[in-house]
Amino acid sequence: MSVSFSAALTAAHDAAGSQHYPTGALYVLASPIGNLADISLRALHVLQLADTLACEDTRHTQQLLRSYGLDSGSKHWLAAHQHNEAEAAQQVIALLQQGKRVAYLSDAGTPGVSDPGARLVAQVQAAGLRCIPLPGASSVTSLLSVAGVVAHGDATGFVFAGFLSSKAQERAQAVQHWASQPLPVVLLEAPHRMEALAQVLQTLGEQRVTVGRELTKQFEEVHTLPAAELPAWLQANPQRLRGEFCLVLHPAAAQASEGLDAQTQRVLRLLLAELPTKAAVKLAADITHAPRNALYEQALAWKDSD
């Protein structure tokens, strides 16, 4: 047993062992995104309790269990990844109907959030069986918590866009679409495509981007900068093109300082008198070619002052 995690396994038993763990249920388990210490005590307990471990990569998860000093050889293993998720779901359902406990892990983070797992959960639920979440590590919420994005007006929450298209034109169109949103937008990117994404984001100028690289790992970097400076930041250190990326695109409204001209404001006021805010802003942007985020911010400012 690993000396590093022997105390954690004891704590997991003490803290989580007395809780109820239904049979015939799928346990959707979040695994660390890099730092092995980011595993929950309840997850460690369920990894020992589960009859079957369904995972994106069985070799990766077997190594994970060995790192915690858990006996991986005594488990029934089932591969469930993006290429066989529908077929694997039927095997999982059969096991659950036999009263087995099945734990599902993707390679890193929370299953079903850009990783496989969503289809598996949907089919298990459709079969009338229970799915139990075991929360834990997520690059999305980890980066958002340190991005320092401040909400403006009535805007709350965030948008998760995940991985954009690998096709240049579709990727550029997606960036322009997400850049106009009044909410922060979370993107994911692989290292071999990060430079291409940075070149597209560069066109957003002063709009700010928070970059998270190798989150939770030894060489973690979190940096906020204008989108125009992103390619240069990557090129300043060759190591920055290694590892997985998570990015938060700050809403442009947060940086908009220039006012709308009188004619644009008049158009916006007329439309707001007849239409809901979102529809009025969209139509005003089409008519005046003013930035949609600036129009939205102005509309919210008028609403707050009424």
What are 229-284's pLDDT values in tens digits? 999 999 999 899 998 999 999 987 544 445 678 788 889 989 999 999 989 999 99
The distance between the two most distant Cα atoms of the chain, rounded to a whole number of Å, is 73
Full DSSP string of 82-104 = TTTHHHHHHHHHHHHHTT--EEE
What are 153-212's pLDDT values in tens digits? 667 899 999 999 999 999 999 999 999 888 999 999 999 999 999 999 999 888 999 999
Q: Scan for tokens 């850049």, then name that residue.
A: 179
Name the region of 30 (left: φ>0; alpha: ψ -120 to 50; beta: rest): beta
pTM for this one? 0.80
Chain mean position to CA 61: 21
Closest CA to 176 of 12, 185, 75, 129: 185
Distance CA 214, CA 243 (A): 5
